[in-house]
Amino acid sequence: MADAKVIPLDEDTRARRGTRTGARPAQGRRKAAVPGSARLAAVGDDTDAGQEEPRSVPPAGERAGASGVTGTLGGVAERLLGGDWDRRVAGGLAFLRRRITGEYEVDDFGYDQELTDQVLMSLLRPLFEKYFRVEVRGIENIPAEGGALVVGNHSGTLPLDALMAQVAVHDHHPAGRHLRLLAADLVFVLPVVNELARKAGHTLACAEDAQTLLERGEIVGVMPEGFKGLGKPFGERYKLQRFGRGGFVSTALRTGVPIVPCSIVGAEEIYPMVGNARTLARLLGFPYFPLTPTFPWLGPLGMVPLPTKWTIQFGEPIRTDGYAPEAADDPMLVFNLTDQVRETIQHTLYKLLVQRRSVFF
With helix as H, strand as E and coil as C, how does 42-90 read? CCCCCCCCCCCCCCCCCCHHHHCHHHHHHHHHHHHHHHHHCCCHHHHHH
Q: Calculate the alpha carbon distances from 182 to 155, 238, 244 in Å.
A: 15, 21, 14
- Check if the beta carbon of residue 183 is closer than 8 Å to that of residue 223: no
pLDDT band at 48 (very low <50, low <70, confident <90, very high): very low
In a domain, 200, yes or no: yes
Measure the CA–CA gap between 313 and 237, rounded to whole angstroms. 17
Phi, psi (rounded to 5 degrees) for 233 = -65, 155
More confident site: 87 or 20: 87
Measure the CA–CA gap between 278 and 44, rounded to whole angstroms. 102
In a domain, 321, yes or no: yes
In a domain, 338, yes or no: yes
Which of 4-13, 100-109, 178-187 shows the lowest mean pLDDT across its residues? 4-13
Measure the CA–CA gap between 351 and 66, rounded to whole angstroms. 63
In a domain, 98, yes or no: no
Beta-carbon contacts of residue 48 (< 8 Å; ≥ 6 apart): none
What does the CA dihedral 133, 190, 295, 129 come to, rounded to 10 degrees? 10
Phi, psi (rounded to 5 degrees) for 204 = -65, 140
pLDDT band at 122 (very low <50, low <70, confident <90, very high): very high
Does pLDDT of 4 surpass 50?
no
More confident site: 256 or 12: 256
- Check if the beta carbon of residue 287 is closer than 8 Å to that of residue 281: yes
Region of 238 (left: φ > 0; alpha: ψ -120 to 50; beta: rest) is left
Tens of pLDDT, residues 260-303: 999 999 999 999 999 999 999 999 999 999 999 999 999 999 99
pLDDT band at 103 (very low <50, low <70, confident <90, very high): confident
Measure the CA–CA gap between 280 and 192, rounded to whole angstroms. 23
pLDDT on residue 81: 60
In a domain, 231, yes or no: yes
Domain span at residue 163? 126-270+305-355
Number of domains in the chain: 1
Does pLDDT of 359 surpass 90?
yes
Alpha helices in the chain (DSSP H): 11-20, 60-63, 65-81, 85-101, 113-115, 121-126, 160-172, 193-199, 207-215, 227-230, 247-255, 278-284, 331-355
pLDDT on residue 124: 97
Q: Which residues pair with 107 in a beta bridge?
A: none
Q: Calculate mean pLDDT across residues 243-250.
A: 90
In a domain, 139, yes or no: yes
Work out the percent of the chain whose per-residue pLDDT is above 70: 76
Q: What is the CATH number of the domain that holds 155?
A: 3.40.1130.10
- Amino acid at residue number 160: L
More confident site: 115 or 20: 115
Does pLDDT of 13 surpass 60?
no
More confident site: 195 or 5: 195
Q: Calculate mean pLDDT across residues 132-157.
A: 96
Q: Calculate mean pLDDT across residues 10-30.
A: 45
In a domain, 175, yes or no: yes
Tens of pLDDT, residues 293-350: 999 999 999 999 999 999 999 999 999 999 998 999 999 999 999 999 999 999 999 9
Tens of pLDDT, residues 189-240: 999 999 999 999 999 999 999 999 999 999 999 999 999 999 999 999 999 9
Query: Average per-residue pLDDT in the chain?
Result: 83
pLDDT band at 78 (very low <50, low <70, confident <90, very high): low
More confident site: 161 or 80: 161
pLDDT on residue 35: 42
Q: Calculate the alpha carbon distances from 293 to 46, 83, 154, 235, 270 in Å.
A: 95, 45, 21, 14, 11
In a domain, 230, yes or no: yes
